């Protein structure tokens, strides 16, 4: 996994000491439809680097605006599934789940957040968040990016591929009969 931070406007590797709860509060966000192995690794990284984690889940309205090529479970179902996962890991007490009505959520309005955990697919959103934070006089966030998690067929795991029946939640290829 690649861990990066933005320091003085440049992308820099994060030193190994940043892997053990080195930030008081980190943020991350997503649709979290059909929780899969990629989501779990992103969440694990957030809880590894942060003492507390704010997790944004897209609202139903915002999820519709994303024009995903498949149905998306309602916000409440996605929130409950995420809470159940975090409870099973024993980290629910370190999490704050919020509804996202846009790509940025609380990351552009609060100075308490110190880092954001993203995938390489969404790292540009981290850059945009930092641009908006700077324009508001807030300190830029450290950006911790993980590689996209590949399925058995070496393509990225995604909820879309799962919904289309191509892979399961662990990234195993689904064999079609007939």
- Where exactly are the structural domains of the chain? 4-163
How confident is the prediction for the chain on average, in pLDDT? 88
Q: Two tokens at 144?
A: 């911790």
Question: Is the predicted pLDDT of residue 108 greater than 90, yes or no?
Answer: yes
Classify domain 4-163 by CATH number.
Answer: 3.40.50.620
Average confidence (pLDDT) over 25-52: 95
> pLDDT at position 15, please?
41
Cα–Cα distance between 43 and 9 in angstroms, integer?
26
> pLDDT at position 51, please?
96
> pLDDT at position 178, please?
55
DSSP string, 31-65: ---S--HHHHHHHHHHHHHEEEEEEEEE-HHHHHH
> pLDDT at position 150, please?
95
User: How many CA atoms are closer than 13 Å to the CA of 64, on its beta-carbon side?
Assistant: 4
């Amino acid at each position: 996994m690649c861990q990066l931070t933005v320091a003085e406007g440049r992308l820099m590797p994060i030193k190994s000491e940043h892997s053990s709860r080195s930030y008081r509060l980190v943020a991350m966000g997503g649709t979290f439809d059909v929780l899969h192995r990629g989501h779990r690794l992103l969440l694990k990284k957030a809880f590894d680097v942060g003492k507390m984690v704010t997790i944004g889940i897209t609202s139903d309205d915002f999820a519709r605006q994303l024009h995903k090529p498949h149905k998306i479970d309602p916000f409440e179902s996605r929130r409950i599934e995420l809470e159940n996962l975090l409870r099973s890991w024993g980290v629910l007490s370190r999490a704050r789940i919020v509804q996202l009505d846009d790509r940025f959520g609380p990351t552009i309005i609060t100075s308490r957040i110190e880092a954001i955990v993203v995938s390489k697919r969404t790292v540009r959103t981290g850059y945009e968040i930092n641009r908006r934070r700077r324009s508001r006089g807030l300190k830029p966030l450290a950006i911790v990016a993980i590689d996209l998690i590949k399925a058995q067929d070496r393509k990225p795991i995604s909820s879309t591929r799962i919904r289309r029946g191509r892979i399961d939640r662990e990234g195993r290829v689904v064999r079609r009969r007939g």
